[in-house]
Amino acid sequence: MKSHAAGTTGGPPYPAARGRRAEELAAGEALDLLGTVELGRLVFTRHALPAVRPVNHLIDAGDIIIRVQDGSTLAALLAAQEGAAVVVAYEADDIDPDEHLGWSVVATGYATAVTDPGEIERYARLLRPWVEGTASGAVRIRPDLVTGFRLRAGGP
């Protein structure tokens, strides 16, 4: 059986990794890249353990806006906090599965329920729910820390 462990075949196990480099992104560029995709992953704490949910999003004045599903874990978490902010992380990426080129961004900050009826209505028009008739509100994530990297072709 052929092993794919590093060093067992005399060279790198994944030749495609050669000729690539990772570059850190400035916070502004990373946030701009988040605005170019619609899907990301929300990371929050549930029962003292990390929980991850795929969600769609948009960027509005530097904030990340997502819809919440009726009865979802995040909706319940926000309701339990009675208006207080919840620490979350939000991750999105666009990496080619064959070439392994692209970017990844993580924004960490505070999530609060959007309470203004006009904003909720506006976000309802802009963000489609995954299952029709299940989205009831929106969450605003104010990112305090935005980090990211881009994988580019070409060696150092």
Residue 126 C-alpha from the chain's centroid: 18
Range name among 35-39, 59-63, 71-75, 143-147 with the lowest pLDDT average: 71-75
- Report the share of the chain in percent with pLDDT over 90: 47
- Which structural domains are found in the chain, ordered by start? 27-150 (2.30.110.10)
Q: Are residues 112 and 139 in contact, defined by beta-carbon separation less than 8 angstroms?
A: yes
Q: 61: which residues sit within 8 A by CB, 6+ positions away?
A: none
What is the pLDDT, as a whole number, of residue 17? Answer: 61
Instruction: Note the pTM of the prediction, 2 decimals.
Output: 0.80
Torsion of CA 123, 67, 144, 93, to 10 degrees: -100
Q: How confident is the model at residue 134 (pLDDT cuts 50, 70, 90)?
A: low
Residue type, 86: V
Mean pLDDT, range 51-60, rounded to an integer: 92
CB 119 within 8 A of CB 63: no
In this model, does residue 2 exceed pLDDT 60? no
Nearest to 137 by CA among 151, 148, 123, 152: 123
